[in-house]
Amino acid sequence: MNMEDQNVFIWIVGFALSAAFVNSLGILTIFLYKDWAQRAKTYFICLAAGMLISTPLMLSLPKALEKNGNAGFAALAGFLFMFFSNRLIRHRTQEEPLAFGITAVEGIGIHSLVDGIIYVVTFKASVLLGVVAGLGLVIHEFAEGIITYTALLKGKVREKTAMLYAFLIAGLTTPVGAFIVFPFAQKAGESSLGLLLGFTSGVLIYVSASHLLPEAREVEKKHSLVAFLFGVGIAGFIVFTKLI
């Protein structure tokens, strides 16, 4: 592994472990301060949604198209992958409480695994892209920890057991996904990296527009729009300052 790859790997490890930590913090917070965590969750979701919708549109998709002219098709594939997998999970959750808990966290586990892959692909493309996408993903991990823990409780899992399972499913899967994919990403050429980056762009667009924002709208808060626009502003500011 050369020096450049070592630096990229350090960034990936740092963000992947930060995601796991923030996810755990969300789980612990709702366990200790349930009312506050439920109120704050919406703002974290909106803030993350603003960052995650901005990143692919301003940075990752244009960069993917530079590397491979067919990256737009890969982005569509990423969006449809998340769309149909989410439809399948929602269909399966129309069952008894235990099945609801299992299938809900199954979807979150897959989603967290994909988060780890996104860290690898975006940081492999550029540190700037990795940082902007990574910040949005890390922020939304707090809300994801709360959601996972709550889903397990609805599935009739005991509180302390739900804490452990939520960490294993939603927190630990992110660094696991990153560490598994990194060796393969190292071997990918520019054209292949463009397709991977296009795919992850589609995933990010879906996560923000079709997952985070609808969930936030279900419990609309007074300043949720401000949180969303603040997320857009953060992403835009980071990108702008690196381009000038």
Residues of the chain above pLDDT 70, percent: 83
pLDDT tens profile 33-83: 888 877 777 787 787 778 778 878 887 788 889 888 998 999 999 899 888
Query: Residue 130's closest CA among 244, 242, 15?
Result: 15
pTM beyond 0.75, yes or no: no
Count of beta carbons in the 10 Å neighbourhood of residue 98: 12
As a whole number of angstroms, the distance between CA 126 and CA 101 comes to: 37
Q: Tokens at residue 159, please?
A: 């509180």
Average pLDDT, stretch 169-173?
82
Q: Where are the alpha helices (DSSP H) in the chain?
A: 3-32, 34-55, 61-67, 71-92, 97-125, 127-154, 159-166, 173-187, 190-206, 213-218, 224-243
pLDDT tens profile 214-238: 766 666 666 778 888 888 888 787 7
- How far lies 32's CA from each of 26, 27, 29, 38, 105, in Å? 10, 9, 5, 12, 21
**Phi, psi dihedrals of residue 201, rounded to the nearest 5°:** -65, -45
Q: What is the pLDDT of residue 74?
A: 92
